[in-house]
Amino acid sequence: MSSTAHMPHFLLLLFLSLLTALTCSASPQIYIGFSASPQSQTAPFESLLTDPTGNFSLCFLRQNQNQLALGVIHVASSQPLWLANPTHFASWSHTTHLSFNGTLILSDPKTNLLWSTATNDGDTLLLLNTSNLQILNKDKATPLWQSFDFPTTTLVQDQNFTTAMSLTSQNGLYSLRLGNDFMGLYANYPENDGSSLRQLLYWKRTALEAKAVIKQGQGPIYARVNKEGYLAMYQTSAKPVDVQKFDSFQQTPTTSSFLLVRLEPDGNLKGYYWNSNKSSWVLNYQAITETCELPLPCGSYGLCTPGGSGCSCLDNRTRFEPGVGCFDGSSSGDLCSEKMGGDSYAVIRRTGVEPPHKELVGHVTAPSFAECEGLCERNCSCWGALYNNASGFCYLMDYPIGTMSGSGEQYKVGYFKVRKSVGGKKRVGVRVGVVVGVMVGIVVAGVGVWMMRMRWRRKGMNGMLGEESGASPGPYRNLGSDSFKSIEMSGQR
Ligand SMILES: *[C@@H]1O[C@H](CO)[C@@H](O)[C@H](O)[C@H]1NC(C)=O
Ligand SMILES: *[C@@H]1O[C@H](CO)[C@@H](O)[C@H](O)[C@H]1NC(C)=O
Ligand SMILES: *[C@@H]1O[C@H](CO)[C@@H](O)[C@H](O)[C@H]1NC(C)=O
Ligand SMILES: *[C@@H]1O[C@H](CO)[C@@H](O)[C@H](O)[C@H]1NC(C)=O
Ligand SMILES: *[C@@H]1O[C@H](CO)[C@@H](O)[C@H](O)[C@H]1NC(C)=O
Ligand SMILES: *[C@@H]1O[C@H](CO)[C@@H](O)[C@H](O)[C@H]1NC(C)=O
Ligand SMILES: *[C@@H]1O[C@H](CO)[C@@H](O)[C@H](O)[C@H]1NC(C)=O
Ligand SMILES: CC(=O)N[C@H]1CO[C@H](CO)[C@@H](O)[C@@H]1O
């Protein structure tokens, strides 16, 4: 296998497409009695079922070298569109078993994964040309179960997104949900006592109700990507209550190509269309266009200055380092369980800062910064306070300090608590070292496997961010979401 490492890219591609062609000769339907386990030691995916056009496939998808997810992919790009088990992978092993006896069941005794559709009287499993996976019973008009009702990171064209559903970014940090009259993006924080998740709204699109109005008591709204090139919200009428146009709106040939929106690991919601001529996904829509309006563009205790000067740190003694950020201690939970008296946390004060998404967070009014600060200082659930001396607004943050917005205006001041952490900078250093070590190890040991996997991963997971996507966040380019993931994760421990 290691010889593939020396193959030029086109050969590798050819090899992969042959593999795809071979493995995608799977049947168009699955009946009762079906059963399968992964076979190949190296393949990035194994197809189990394809749709009539051959564009989509239900596959075993290799994750992290030797783990397995069950999902529907877009075959030409290997892009996963839906995963059965996005948070709990099976092992890529012959003991992992997918079977259909009326219920579709994925089980792995090693990792104790048991996922099922809980549909006892199904008789057929079918993959439609929309990428929707359905379980049917010949006596029943409507499907017993469909993957469209359980979206993961992605919503494809014509898929209805209801108030009962949510999209979650691959790293689990962000979600998209619908409210009564809006769609919102939320950051997921563990609750102070760690028992549950708390969701903070950082982007909100309220229905404009230009073509149809939302009628109270007439049922919830839902959203759908329309192949004419827009993301719409609807209520009862076929006319949308809101339309967010994509760049390709009403343009041919893009109206004839396949569209989707995906919640990205950086918390942005992006739309893409498939350009079959170039075999690539083209960026078509972004909910958040200004980098500083992303939920965590500069990491914890970072400062994002709109207009290009980029990331710096709230603490002016710390220099921002791409991929590392400003802070590596623990900012999770609250300070209530710790001994108070000033030594469980240090304080940073900074002028010229304001809360990000301030129109979405609540405030109280206070006569002075000192009073605003005092409200936070005396409350161990509070991590920071931001004061606007002109308006008297005092924003109290009872959640971990993320990235603040740099306004430069001296009458906007901030007060932030920093937990005194044990270990300090070492922890990130160690983690980076381990990652580098592991990667070097992989390169040396299994070059061929690794290259194939990376190619697939690049095409699959990140392939959407191709050159023609135009998604160039400038100085933030190397702020890979993965590096922030590790900051964020360590912050949440
Ligand atoms: C299908 O298999 C599962 C697991 O073996 C079992 O619990 C379930 O009852 C079976 N369903 C039917 C309809 O046979
Ligand atoms: C998908 O299937 C539907 C009905 O089964 C059909 O009307 C439509 O033309 C198909 N679309 C494509 C692109 O094959
Ligand atoms: C989406 O909802 C519309 C309106 O309720 C319905 O006509 C359509 O069939 C639904 N599409 C799918 C794929 O469920
Ligand atoms: C692909 O190329 C053909 C021929 O040049 C053109 O007609 C078609 O519109 C192109 N499709 C896309 C999606 O750009
Ligand atoms: C950092 O901020 C403090 C407090 O605002 C200020 O006194 C100090 O001069 C600043 N240091 C630098 C190097 O800017
Ligand atoms: C402390 O802050 C939390 C969260 O903002 C708030 O619910 C609580 O009432 C505050 N406690 C006091 C004593 O002010
Ligand atoms: C805040 O406002 C008061 C009254 O408007 C003014 O006296 C004070 O200098 C201001 N302080 C700052 C830091 O801008
Ligand atoms: C989204 C996608 O890949 N669509 C393709 C489906 O298959 C037809 C025929 O092969 C292509 O023309 C589409 O581009």
Q: Is the CB of 195 under 6 A from ligand 4?
A: no
Q: Whose CA is nearest to atom 6 of ligand 8?
A: 55
Report the CATH number at residue 301.
3.50.4.10
Question: Residue 417 and residue 39: Cα distance in Å, rounded?
Answer: 53
Pocket-forming residues, ligand 2, beta carbon under 6 Å:
53, 129
Say if 203 falls within a structural domain. Answer: yes
| Residues β-bridged to residue 154 | 262
- Any idea which ligand is nearest the CA of 251? 4
pLDDT at 81: 98
For 412, the domain range is: 293-419
> Which residue, among 312, 305, 310, 264, has the nearest Cα to 288 in the 3D structure?
264
Strand order in the sheet with 113-116: 34-36, 97-100, 104-108, 113-116
Looking at the structure, do residues 142 and 203 belong to the same domain, yes or no? Answer: no
Looking at the structure, do residues 274 and 162 belong to the same domain, yes or no? Answer: yes
Atom of ligand 3 nearest to the CA of 158: 13
- Any idea which ligand is nearest the CA of 284? 4
Q: Is the CB of 476 under 6 A from ligand 8?
A: no
Say if 67 falls within a structural domain. Answer: yes
Atom of ligand 5 nearest to the CA of 349: 5
Looking at the structure, do residues 338 and 443 belong to the same domain, yes or no? Answer: no
pLDDT at 251: 79
- Any idea which ligand is nearest the CA of 282? 4
**CA 276 to ligand 4 center in whole angstroms:** 8
Report the CATH number at residue 185.
2.90.10.10
Say if 177 falls within a structural domain. Answer: yes
Looking at the structure, do residues 170 and 279 belong to the same domain, yes or no? Answer: yes
Q: Is the CB of 349 under 6 A from ligand 5?
A: yes
Q: Are the beta carbons of 101 and 89 closer than 8 angstroms?
A: no
**CA 316 to ligand 5 center in whole angstroms:** 6
Say if 3 falls within a structural domain. Answer: no
The tally of domains found in the chain comes to 4
- What pairing do the DSSP bridges indicate for beta strands 403-406 and 302-305? parallel
Q: Are the beta carbons of 74 and 53 closer than 8 angstroms?
A: no
Looking at the structure, do residues 265 and 226 belong to the same domain, yes or no? Answer: yes
Q: Is the CB of 389 under 6 A from ligand 7?
A: yes
**CA 413 to ligand 5 center in whole angstroms:** 13
Q: From residue 325, give the alpha-carbon distance in Å to each of 10, 169, 304, 475, 480.
A: 37, 21, 11, 14, 11
Question: Residue 289 and residue 271: Cα distance in Å, rounded?
Answer: 12
Say if 457 falls within a structural domain. Answer: yes
Q: Whose CA is nearest to atom 7 of ligand 7?
A: 389
> Which residue, among 158, 177, 157, has the nearest Cα to 167 in the 3D structure?
177
Phi, psi of 374 (to 5 degrees): -60, -40
Q: Is the CB of 281 under 6 A from ligand 8?
A: no
CA 404 vs. chain centroid, Å, equals: 21
Q: Is the CB of 37 under 6 A from ligand 7?
A: no
Say if 1 falls within a structural domain. Answer: no
Looking at the structure, do residues 132 and 241 belong to the same domain, yes or no? Answer: no
Q: Are the beta carbons of 80 and 65 closer than 8 angstroms?
A: no
Last residue of one domain, picked from the residues 365, 387, 419: 419
**CA 55 to ligand 8 center in whole angstroms:** 6
Looking at the structure, do residues 137 and 188 belong to the same domain, yes or no? Answer: no
Among all chains, which residue has been given the structure tokens 């017993």?
A: 144
Report the CATH number at residue 102.
2.90.10.30
Q: Is the CB of 158 under 6 A from ligand 3?
A: yes
Looking at the structure, do residues 389 and 464 belong to the same domain, yes or no? Answer: no
Q: Is the CB of 319 under 6 A from ligand 5?
A: no
Task: Enter the pTM of the model.
Answer: 0.81
Looking at the structure, do residues 173 and 48 belong to the same domain, yes or no? Answer: no
Q: Is the CB of 148 under 6 A from ligand 3?
A: yes
pLDDT at 120: 86
Question: Residue 476 and residue 481: Cα distance in Å, rounded?
Answer: 10
pLDDT at 451: 35
Phi, psi of 255 (to 5 degrees): -65, -20
Q: Is the CB of 254 under 6 A from ligand 8?
A: no
Looking at the structure, do residues 132 and 183 belong to the same domain, yes or no? Answer: no
pLDDT below 70 — which residues of the chain? 1-27, 192-194, 253-255, 308, 329-334, 338-343, 421-493
Q: Is the CB of 257 under 6 A from ligand 4?
A: yes
Q: Is the CB of 255 under 6 A from ligand 4?
A: no
- HEC string of the chain? CHHHHHCCHHHHHHHHHHHHHHHCCCCCEEECCEEECCCCCCCCEEEEEECCCCCEEEEEEEECCCEEEEEEEECCCCEEEEECCCCCCEECCCCCEEEECCCEEEEECCCCEEEECCCCCCCEEEECCCCCEEEECCCCCCCCEEHHHCCCCEEECCCCEECCCCEECCCCCEEEEECCCEEEEEEEEECCCCCCEEEEEEEEEECCCCCCCCCCCCCCCEEEEECCCEEEEECCCCCCCEEEECCCCCCCCHHHCCEEEEECCCCCEEEEEEECCCCEEEEEEECCCCHHHCCCCCCCCEEEECCCCEEEECCCCCCCECCCECCCCCCCCCCCCCCCCCCCEEEEEEECEECCCHHHCCCEECCCHHHHHHHHHCCCCCCEEEEECCCCEEEEECCCCCEEEECCCCCEEEEEEEECCCCCCHHHHHHHHHHHHHHHHHHHHCHHHHHHHHHHHHHHCCHHHCHHHCCCCHHHCCCCHHHHHHHHHHHHC
Atom of ligand 4 nearest to the CA of 252: 9
CB neighbour list of residue 142: distance below 8 Å, 6 or more residues apart: none
Q: Whose CA is nearest to atom 14 of ligand 3?
A: 160
Q: Whose CA is nearest to atom 6 of ligand 4?
A: 253
Looking at the structure, do residues 134 and 187 belong to the same domain, yes or no? Answer: no
- Any idea which ligand is nearest the CA of 100? 1
Say if 425 falls within a structural domain. Answer: no
Last residue of one domain, picked from the residues 372, 387, 419: 419
Q: Is the CB of 65 under 6 A from ligand 1?
A: no
Looking at the structure, do residues 120 and 38 belong to the same domain, yes or no? Answer: yes
Say if 6 falls within a structural domain. Answer: no
**CA 379 to ligand 6 center in whole angstroms:** 6
Last residue of one domain, picked from the residues 289, 321, 337: 289
Q: Kindly state the greatest CA–CA separation across the chain.
A: 72
Q: Is the CB of 258 under 6 A from ligand 8?
A: yes
**CA 123 to ligand 1 center in whole angstroms:** 13
Question: Residue 273 and residue 146: Cα distance in Å, rounded?
Answer: 23
**Chain-wide mean pLDDT for the chain?**
80
Q: Which of 276, 278, 279 to mutate to test the pocket of ligand 8 (most atoms within 8 A of CB)?
A: 276
Q: Which two tokens stand for residue 451?
A: 């290259």
